[in-house]
Chain A
Amino acid sequence: MYQYDKYDQAMVDARVAEFREQTRRRIEGHLTDDQFKPLRLKNGLYLQLHAYMLRVAIPYGTVSSRQFRMLAHIARKYDRGYGHVTTRQNMQYNWIKLEEAPDILADLATVQMHAIQTSGESIRNVSADQYAGAAADEIIDPRPWAEVIRQITSFMPEFSYLPRKFKIAVIASDEDRVAMRWHDFGIRIVKNENPENGAGEIGFECYAGGGMGRTPFIAYKIREFLPPTQILSYLQAVLRVWNRNARRDNIHKQRMKILVHDLGEEEFRRQVEEEFQNFLALGQDVPQAEYDRVAAYFAPPPFETGLSDEIDRSDPDFALWADRQLVAHKAPGYAIVNISLKPTGGIPGDMSAEQMELVADLAEKYSFDEVRATHAQNLVLPHVRKADLYAVWQALDAAGLAGVNLDLVTDIIACPGLDYCTLANARSIPVAQRIAERFADLDRQRDLGELKIKISGCINACGHHHAGHIGILGVDRKGTENYQLLLGGSGSEDVSQAKITGPGFDEAGIVDAVERAVDRYRELREPGERFIDTYRRVGFDPFKESIYG
């Protein structure tokens, strides 16, 4: 994992000291609410429905055991004993006291963590594949480049007064596990396969203009192949075109996706390429040596060789879990373990301090000290020896973390919604809980196969409803909660935008409507088809009949 150098640490420490002083002045009445708000938001501190909420950055979803123990410590000492994994691979705490916020940031800084750029009009935490460095299908580990991008986008002048927030994702496989094309800027690391010209070279396929929210767009491919060491020039070009042209009169029209759409893909690309040449000429790009320095921190752990790939499946409960929660690892004898944070009737993404500590212990003992947070609000132990899987499963099971539902109908993404969020129109979590209870039977879930349900409590779409095979959007209908049903979205490599089916439902009604859609899929599916495949083949009408009778 990346380790701060003296510059990183000095910047973070200085920010903590600055915020401590700002907080003192606010509490003593020298700063008004309006004056203080942008300052606290710069440090990830929101005011939500019940208290302050702190969003802690987990860069590209990678966290060490020591850091995860610190997250547990914060949950226990400063919050109410739990935290919440977000759809951008971060950790949120819901019950923070302003007077303690500087102490929390100071504690985080001792383990090289912070909450900078987790809010406001900034370049947010860079997302990356949760299986990075472990996935059998990756070209290279995407995290060194994600880290380089984190560094060049932190406190960078060109990026300091953006029209709106800006989200970046980096993947290095054909499979997209981070909803890359729903980001403002996406990178897929590719290898040049052209035997005539530079075969074997690594490059970036670049996408721009994606985003959810009230005006959803899927990012366009704007460059086939960017030499990775030119990423600083290229990103600056993208940001400059946006900064130069973006509207600043209407908060709902200021995200880059709106500009890309308004200018048109071609014109946006043309302007970016023009600016790109200007930046390239300045010669300020990241030298290969700097990339190599960063990449050294992500060197593969010392995997043992000669390990067996056999898994003892004699315990049927373990076998069930192993069949669902494990993913192929690039090193023989190892597996990637997915830890479900979606117990039936639980709150998607929530975990207690004790659970965090257990996962930290397991990571230290069995996974080269690493934990990953996923955008689907689960966790990953990236490097577990197959011989250790049974012990890991037993420990997870004892802590209520051995759920068997990866990518199944109960592996629901849900934003905090009206239970916590001040912007919400409706609650998301209870809807997720009722759906999970309705489909609790594991045989039924497995029969239904991959089915991604995503729920947002308002049009801001933190719960990714646009990208759900089944999406649910909470709306306010004359002061009561109402839920719109959407079908046909995807955040994966088969990306698509879900469409609203028709009139909304109340809480009980939306659960029934989801079940009717799912039952219709079972009637219509052909062998091997997932829900989304059947939907795409037959279209919306057969589903509409079932949902609305």
Chain B
Amino acid sequence: MQDLTLIRPGRAADGEWSLELGKAALKEEFEARLAECGTLVFRVARGVLRNPEDAEDVAQEAMLRAYRRFARLRDPVRFRAWLVRISFRLALDHARSARRREQRETVWAVKVPRPSAEDMAASREFEKRLDQALEALPKKSRLVLLLASMDGCSLSEVADVLQIPVGTVKSRLHAARKQLAEKLR
């Protein structure tokens, strides 16, 4: 014979209801963070990826992951640092898989499209070389370089976002610039 359990759903509902209210408050708080950090997250992804549409997809995924872990990431400083890192990591993954896809398509394509005149333009060429040089940078230095390239973002703010000392930001930035200059000479 089946066992039955005696419950008070109404009282439990009170508990669940306050849980729901807590969730609503959490969601509201997250909404505020989304508005505050959305652009930063997008820019970090955009710094890695070549087109803004991909960067938006990555930023969206990063925000979704942040939302799932938001209960543990409510401290604003920790939240922003985590979000920047996850966005950067997701963008790197995205770029890697896009590159693999590109290579596969190049191998199997019957006709490889000729580069357009625009692609041949010097600026495009330089941008391409820059992307390659950026990819060769150590990840930590690359992230520092990207954040430091944002308008109005001082080194101490970069240090604050990444939760690392300013001295470390300076040395990583210096190393990244040197390596880029060397590659792009």
* Chain A bound to chain B: no
Chain B positions within 8 Å of A, measured between CB atoms, are none
